[in-house]
Amino acid sequence: MNDQIISGIGITCGHFQHVRHDPPWTVREWVTTDLGRKQHLGMQLNCKKCDREEPVDAIGAS
């Protein structure tokens, strides 16, 4: 299985989000190259943690 993880992305709501390319369930081939990632800088992501009304994430939180 090809499961490439881009390190957590901080989004403006204060949550972190991993973006994966995990075919066939999630196809985001752009995360597999530097150019693809650079082309998606500033892309808006839906925050599922906000949908669940979770508190913001903090670095080093356990």
Encode pLDDT of 9-62 as tens digits.
556 788 888 778 777 778 888 888 889 888 888 777 788 889 999 998 877 655
Q: For residues 4 and 34, which has the higher predicted lDDT (pLDDT)?
A: 34
DSSP string over 1-33 = ---EEEEEEE-TTS-EEEEEEBTTTB--GGGGS
Cα separation, 23 vs 11, whole angstroms: 24
With b meaning 16 or more CB within 10 Å and e meaning fewer, what string describes 37-48? eeeeeeeeeebe
Query: Residue 19's beta-bridge partner residues?
Result: 6
